[in-house]
């Protein structure tokens, strides 16, 4: 197990190295160069020259790259142009918000997606099956931000059931230790604050979770359809095993491998979706911060975030691969 | 188009080919076409795309006003925006700037189609180039290219597109190139794997025995045989391209005038009017979703029709 993990982390190094070169070149190819991005387009040539000297942008590219790489390895991702605070610190304060949102979205997507996909396959060709196919088709084709608008209009504006934006009602005086608002409320015993934060998560969570939901329904359905006619299922039936055991231990468990892979692959989609969802719901997480970074051309933030995501992506893929051996013991043998 | 069809499949159905029981000997492509014609999802997709194409091409004739015109500027106030049917001459009402919503939706179809088709064509071209180099040359070239594709894949699509658009400036071309580049990995992987799967084929061995150069063999056998299956995958990325283009211009990366007729852009400005004029969000949003639905239905039916596994059923 440890050897597998070590090997995977070693494989990550060339990818990150390549990515760092691309990002380095990306910043140098920004219109007007990094100095203009820092100072804005109306900067005087003298100011640009001074910044170039100060940050070393006038030195040869390989030297600049080595300095940049050295800082990255020490965990220094630079300072945000928009806010003037270290990039890592900005991420640390905003990441919990997006994490909370993503967890709600995934609970929604997995909690509904797997049972629905399973039931659709069990009732293949009947109304429930057709319904799930149509539903997943709609889920894939409706843009996240449009869905966010529909939810916001219906549930927040028209029927006033849920809050339209933000993370928590500003009138609630809540204590925040972890920046996970729901968790904070539970830990401090301020249950009304936790409940309020949870209500703020429902609409954006559903908006963000719908595409993963649609994909999980499809994969689960296809996977169960393939597995339920397998020879070992027929054998299990012939042996006279209880239908419940057959469904749980034979069909569902074997059908889960592609589903778990798919869930792991949703990360990119969730991050892109978070940028859009957080924009519509004025939700103060990483997504909204990135959107502002895009407009301010806040390249240290974008750079740092892309590296961060690439590492996260690799880690999640690793967890997915390791979870195979839990689900399917045959993988362990190899 | 006929040059890219796999010659192996055309007209030479093997005796045990399941397509034969329809009574006439059909090849893969003809069979796929027949199956598509019987598939209601494919027909629905084709109709949606057909209507969308017609509207986009005939936009100058269909739209009552130009895309950036503001004919109803005098009819809007800060608190009221005339909705559908509330004002003569503007069947779908006005937007915040005083633009005719119907005209903007029609011009928006043209903008979306252009961005979608051009960006997917760019992605296809770039992906094919990388795929041919990787699959044809193999060895270290293959390794370097596939690592590069891995790097592109490790950055979420929208962020990749946004980063590229940031370098190229805020305009429609930047969006096309950005989405095109973000689609390169899909096509590169498809073409490469499709070419690799033919590596041990008899006709390649035959060509090698004849002493043909590697370039000639690659260009005349695996490449033409792989291009068809990759190109038919294009409708699905087209759906993604339409949605991503809308997302990028929704985030404000399209550049140009604020009232530019573009579906994503219309949604940006509908945001603040959601309480008084929800139709400003719903109409362009529905257009994006329906177009994406059309491409998805067509793309999936096409893929299903060409998949030998489902062919046997």
Task: Pick the more confident residue, B47 or A177.
Answer: B47
pLDDT value at position B310? Answer: 56
Q: How confident is the model at residue B157 (pLDDT cuts 50, 70, 90)?
A: confident
Contacting A with CB below 8 Å, chain B residues are 147-148, 150-151, 154-159, 162-163, 166-167, 169, 239, 243, 246-247, 250-253, 267, 270-271, 274-275, 278, 281-282, 285-286, 288-289, 292-293, 296-297
**Average pLDDT estimate for A254-280:** 84
* Burial of B142 from C-beta contacts in 10 A (0-12 / 13-18 / 19+): middle
Best probe of the B interface among A133, A146, A299, by most B CBs < 10 A, is: A146
Question: Cβ distance A227 to A254 under 8 Å?
Answer: yes
The b-or-e profile of B43-60 (16+ CB within 10 A means b, else e) is eebbebbeebeebbeebe
Residue B146 lies in a domain: yes
Average pLDDT score over chain A: 84
Q: Which of A319, A311, A291 is nearest to A19 (CA)?
A: A311
User: In terms of Cα–Cα distance, which of B285, B158, B178 is closest to A274?
Assistant: B158
Domain presence at residue B156: yes
| B37 C-beta neighbours (distance < 10 Å), count | 11
**In 3D, which of B272, B257, B258, B284 has the Cα closest to residue B104?**
B284
Q: What are residue B100's DSSP bridge partners?
A: B94
Q: Quick one: chain B helix, strand, coil %, rounded to 5?
A: 70, 0, 30
Query: Mean pLDDT highest for which of A217-226, A264-273, A319-328?
Result: A217-226
Q: Using alpha carbons, list the distances in angstroms from residue A76 to A37, A59, A60, A301, B167.
A: 19, 20, 21, 12, 24
Provide the CATH number for the domain around residue B166.
Answer: 1.10.3720.10
Banded pLDDT at B9 (limits 50, 70, 90): very low
Of B151, B169, B292, the CB nearest to A18: B151
How far is residue A34 CA from its own chain's centroid? Answer: 28
Q: pLDDT confidence of B13, banded at 50, 70, 90?
A: very low
> Using 50, 70 and 90 to split pLDDT, how confident is the model at B308?
low
- B227-248 pLDDT, tens digit each: 777 877 788 889 989 998 898 8
Q: Tell me if B251 and A149 make a contact (CB, 8 A cut-off).
A: no
Mean pLDDT, chain B, integer: 80
Q: Which of B147, B155, B189 to mutate to test the interface with A (most CBs of A within 10 A)?
A: B155
Q: Are B212 and B203 in contact (CB under 8 A)?
A: no
Residues 6+ apart with CB under 8 A from A192: A172, A185
Give Cα A109 distance to the centre of its chain. Answer: 13
- Cβ of B289 and A142 within 8 Å? yes
Summarize pLDDT for B177-210 with one digit per residue, the tens.
Answer: 989 998 898 889 888 888 887 777 788 888 888 8
In a domain, B136, yes or no: yes
- Residue B278 has a pLDDT of 87
Of B84 and A108, which is predicted with more confidence?
A108
In percent, the amount of chain B with pLDDT more than 90 equals 18
Min Cα separation B105/chain A (Å): 15
The answer to whether position B148 is within a domain reads yes
Count CA atoms within 13 Å of residue A22 on its CB side: 22
What is the rounded CA–CA span in Å between residue B149 and residue B161?
A: 15
For residue B267, tell me if it sits in a domain. Answer: yes
Give residue B289's domain range.
Answer: 108-311
Task: Give the number of other CB atoms < 10 A from CB of residue B40.
Answer: 9
Q: What is this structure's pTM?
A: 0.83
Check CB contact under 8 Å for A275 and B154.
Answer: no
3-state secondary structure of B183: helix
Q: What is the pLDDT of residue B307?
A: 67
Classify residue B283: in a domain, yes or no: yes
ipTM of the complex: 0.82
Inter-chain Cβ pairs, chain A and chain B, closer than 8 A: 117
User: Which residues have C-beta within 8 Å of that of residue B124, sequence separation ≥ 6?
Assistant: B183, B187, B230, B231, B234
pLDDT computed for residue B54 by the predictor: 94
Q: Kindly state the average pLDDT of the residues A76-86.
A: 84
Is the pLDDT assigned to residue A287 strictly greater than 60?
yes
Number of domains in chain B: 1
Residue B58 lies in a domain: no
Q: Which residues pair with A86 in a beta bridge?
A: A79
Q: Of the ranges A86-90, B82-86, B203-207, which one carries the lowest mean pLDDT score?
A: B82-86
Q: Which of A229-238, A314-323, B23-32, B45-54 has the highest mean pLDDT?
A: B45-54
pLDDT at B16 over 70: no
Lowest mean per-residue pLDDT among A30-34, A108-112, B228-232, B297-301:
A30-34
Q: Please indicate, yes or no, if residue B187 is contained in any of the structural domains.
A: yes
Q: What is the pLDDT of residue B196?
A: 81
**Which residues in chain B touch residue A20, judged by CB atoms under 8 angstroms apart?**
none
């Amino acid at each position: 197990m440890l050897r597998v993990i070590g090997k995977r982390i070693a494989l990550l190094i060339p990818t990150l190295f390549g990515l760092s070169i691309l990002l380095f070149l990306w910043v140098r190819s920004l219109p007007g160069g990094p100095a203009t991005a820092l100072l804005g387009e109306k900067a005087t040539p003298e100011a640009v020259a001074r910044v170039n000297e100060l940050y070393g942008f006038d030195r040869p590219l390989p030297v600049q790259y080595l300095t940049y790489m050295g800082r990255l390895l020490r965990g220094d991702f630079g300072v945000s142009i928009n806010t003037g605070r270290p990039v890592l610190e900005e991420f640390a304060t905003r990441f919990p918000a997006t994490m909370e949102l993503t967890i709600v979205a995934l609970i929604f997507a997995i909690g509904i997606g797997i049972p629905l996909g399973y039931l659709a396959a069990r009732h293949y060709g009947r109304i429930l099956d057709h319904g799930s196919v149509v539903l997943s088709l709609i889920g894939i084709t409706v843009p996240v931000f449009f869905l966010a608008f529909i939810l916001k209009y219906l549930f927040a504006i028209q029927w006033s059931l849920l809050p339209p934006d933000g993370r928590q009602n500003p009138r609630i005086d809540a204590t925040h230790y972890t920046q996970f608002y729901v968790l904070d409320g539970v830990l401090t015993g301020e249950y009304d604050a936790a409940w309020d934060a949870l209500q703020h998560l429902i609409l954006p969570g559903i908006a963000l979770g719908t595409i993963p939901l649609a994909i999980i329904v499809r994969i689960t359905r296809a996977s169960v359809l393939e597995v339920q006619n397998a020879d070992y299922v027929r054998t299990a039936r012939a042996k006279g095993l209880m239908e419940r055991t057959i469904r749980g231990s034979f069909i569902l468990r074997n059908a889960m491998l592609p589903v778990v892979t798919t869930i792991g692959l949703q990360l990119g989609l969730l991050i892109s979706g978070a940028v859009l969802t957080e924009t519509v719901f004025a939700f103060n997480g990483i997504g909204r911060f990135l959107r502002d970074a895009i407009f301010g051309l806040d390249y240290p933030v974008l750079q740092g975030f892309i590296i961060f995501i690439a590492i996260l992506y690799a880690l999640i893929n690793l967890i997915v691969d390791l979870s195979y051996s839990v689900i399917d013991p045959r993988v362990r043998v190899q | 188009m006929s040059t890219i069809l796999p010659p192996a499949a055309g007209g030479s159905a093997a005796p045990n080919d399941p397509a034969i029981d329809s009574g006439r000997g059909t090849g893969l492509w003809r069979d796929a076409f027949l199956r598509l014609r019987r598939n209601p999802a494919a027909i629905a997709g084709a109709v949606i795309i057909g209507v969308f194409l017609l509207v986009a091409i005939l936009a100058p004739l269909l739209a009552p006003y130009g895309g950036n015109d503001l004919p109803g500027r005098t009819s809007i106030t800060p608190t009221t925006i005339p909705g559908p049917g509330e004002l003569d001459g503007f069947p779908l009402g006005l937007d915040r700037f005083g633009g005719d919503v119907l005209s903007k939706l029609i011009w928006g179809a043209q903008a979306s189609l252009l961005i979608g088709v051009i960006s997917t064509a760019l992605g296809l071209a770039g992906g094919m180039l990388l795929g041919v180099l990787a699959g044809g040359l193999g060895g270290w070239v293959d390794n370097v290219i596939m690592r590069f594709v891995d790097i592109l894949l490790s950055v979420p699509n929208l962020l990749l597109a946004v980063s590229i658009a940031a370098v190229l400036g805020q305009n429609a071309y930047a969006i096309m190139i950005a989405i095109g580049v973000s689609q390169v990995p899909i096509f590169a992987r498809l073409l490469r794997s499709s070419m690799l799967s033919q590596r041990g084929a008899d006709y390649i061995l035959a060509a090698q025995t004849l002493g043909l150069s590697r370039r000639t063999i690659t260009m005349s056998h695996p490449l033409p045989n792989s291009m068809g299956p990759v190109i038919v995958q294009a409708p699905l990325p087209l759906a993604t391209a339409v949605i991503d283009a809308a997302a990028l211009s929704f985030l404000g990366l399209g550049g140009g005038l604020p009232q530019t007729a573009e579906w994503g852009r219309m949604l940006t400005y509908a945001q603040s009017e959601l309480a008084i004029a929800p139709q400003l969000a719903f109409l362009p949003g529905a257009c994006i979703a329906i177009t994406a639905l059309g491409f998805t239905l067509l793309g999936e039916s096409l893929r299903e029709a060409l998949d030998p596994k489902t062919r046997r059923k």
